Amino acid sequence: MAARRLSCLLSRSLSASSAAAAASSSSSGSASLLLSQGRRVNRFSTAAATEELIIPPVQISHTQHLINGQFVDAASGKTFPTYDPRTGEVIAHVAEGDAEDINRAVAAARKAFDEGPWPKMSAYERSRILLRFADLVEKHSEELAALETWNNGKPYEQALHAEIPMLARLFHYYAGWADKIHGLTVPADGKYHIQTLHEPIGVAGQIIPWNFPLLMFAWKVGPALACGNTIVLKTAEQTPLTALYVAKLFQEAGLPPGVLNVVSGDGPTAGAPLASHMDVDKVAFTGSTDTGKIILELAARSNLKPVTLELGGKSPFIICEDADIDHAVELAHFALFFNQGQCCCAGSRTFVHERVYDEFIEKAKARAVKRVVGDPFKKGVEQGPQIDNEQFEKVLRYIRAGIDSDATLECGGGRLGSKGYFIEPTVFSNVKDDMLIAKDEIFGPVQSILKFKDLDEVVRRANATRYGLAAGVFTRNIDTANYFTRALRAGTVWVNCFDVFDAAIPFGGYKMSGIGREKGIYSLNNYLQVKAVVTPLKNPAWL
């Protein structure tokens, strides 16, 4: 979908549908578990009751690793549980990968790259497989959305109407690039013919996070396959199910065995062996800044493989004095609370001009109080649970730190209900730059609102962070907008909008928010080697 369409979908009050997990846990890779219209899950809401929706049954038939075109158990035979964040109950048990599983997956990817048909296949044929996969995503959109919500906790309609269409759009986009990657002829001094070849880099190791499992799968896998590489992808241990589902769809689309391998497991036991593997030619990681440092070090210590990192953020969202306050409140609310606040580029530092600060606070508080929190499978729900108990407790600790530092708690601040990982939408005012809630990436539904006086001051404060992933500006003045877009040190600056994620828009960070760019034409550079070919010209007629 176009950027305008996606932004519209994301900016709505995102809702969800009904149903509950009606499956017991399984310790077998051949588990067949069903999400259907089963028992009700308690709903916790800050607003009116919601109407239930009907979702299609979703069968979990793949909980093993995908290695060399086959779904297989972990080498150790171990499994780990994956949970429903609405209840904290086990959905299924998934194969637990370790160094041996990574070795097997890398060997398969290496053979597929060195000997298999994928890198040698015509770019047009690779494009057709990516297109067939995108079509299968659209065909199975309801099942994918339901599974993403079940394992991640995000509102079902957010997954169905925004994220799954973008997943398909991304693969359509990269399918379009596959047969348009080519080198150049280069003029040079002397009697030489010089050309450049753009070649696939080889075996790509990819590690994706839990907050947008399917979209991060696309951001990594799409450009790598379009360029002709093979892949070993490690899922987030919290959300392995949808990557395994779409890996099966890739098989249906005709992807040769060994081109895409998927291993589930923890970071230290599966992610670290992948990052340090000598037969992996490139690593891409999305996650926390601290883990990104480890990935970079492991890659450097092994074979000095190139690394792209999309890491943490503490994005400023700046409300100027000329803003339409009602519109600004809604946009700032969306910028922070979207996806339960579990968004690396969330507008988590809301800077508001002193002349409109008090009005903004009252309206921001009123909007947060109206936010509907509850079972993400119910219509009208805007916010589901946090991903797991660890993240849930982390967010609550930051809320307590905000209270202890004398920020003003305008609303929220606590748990909702007694089951699952639901947190009240929380708003702090009178936040100072040196408070933890203004410095650290909380990754939860906690809005920190700060006051500023003039443009130079707010730019200085907005840039005074180790992060530089994104920023937002709300103003009616084009000169003010232009000033901010150039002065803010961030990889993306949204003006009078936020979280617009078209497939063609590059995304990545300054400073400790990462290295490199994803999406768009810039992402292709991550998966290509450039080779110069120089040939002498013997008495050409035109010289």
pLDDT in tens, 74-91: 999 999 999 999 999 999
Domain boundaries, given as residue ranges, for the chain: 17-310, 316-495
Active site residue 393: no
Residue pair 249/255 in contact (Cβ under 8 Å)? The answer is: no
Three-state secondary structure of 160-209: HHHHHHHHHHHHHHHHHHHCCCCCCEECCCCCEEEEEEEEECCEEEEECC
Compute the average pLDDT of residues 462-467.
Answer: 98
What separation in angstroms does the CA of 126 have from each of 68, 200, 202, 450, 476? Answer: 18, 13, 16, 50, 46
Residue 171 to residue 116: CA distance in whole angstroms: 22
3-class state of residue 505 by DSSP: coil
Q: Which residues contact 430 (CB under 8 A, 6 or more apart)?
A: 406, 407, 408, 451
| pLDDT of the residue at 362 | 98
At 313-352, the pLDDT tens digits run 999 999 999 999 999 999 999 999 999 999 999 999 999 9
Topology of domain 316-495 in CATH is: Aldehyde Dehydrogenase; Chain A, domain 2 (3.40.309)
What is the band of 44 on the pLDDT scale with cuts at 50, 70, 90? very low
**Do the domains at 17-310 and 316-495 have one common CATH topology?**
no
The one catalytic residue among 143, 148, 157, 310:
310
User: pTM value?
Assistant: 0.91
d(CA 295, CA 300): 9
R_g over Cα of the chain: 24
Whether 45 and 381 have beta carbons less than 8 Å apart is answered as yes
At what angle are helices 164-178 and 3-11 packed, to 10 degrees? 160
Taking residues 185-201, report their average pLDDT.
93
Say if residue 405's pLDDT is above 90. Answer: yes
Structure-block tokens of residue 24: 């017991």
Q: Which CATH class is domain 17-310?
A: alpha beta
Q: Is 481 helix (H, G, I), strand (E, B) or coil?
A: helix
* % of the chain exceeding 70 in pLDDT: 90
Rounded to an integer, what is the distance from CA 146 to the centroid of its chain? Answer: 18
The 10 Å Cβ neighbour count of residue 196 is 14
Euclidean distance between CA atoms 299 and 284, whole angstroms: 10
Per-residue pLDDT at 425 exceeds 80: yes
Rounded CA-CA distance 311/348 in Å is 15
The closest alpha carbon to 343, from 180, 523, 212, belongs to: 212
Rounded-to-integer distance, Cα 229 and Cα 198, Å: 12
pLDDT at site 444:
98
Alpha helices by DSSP H, listed for 39-194, are: 99-114, 123-139, 141-152, 156-158, 164-178
Q: How confident is the model at residue 40 (pLDDT cuts 50, 70, 90)?
A: very low
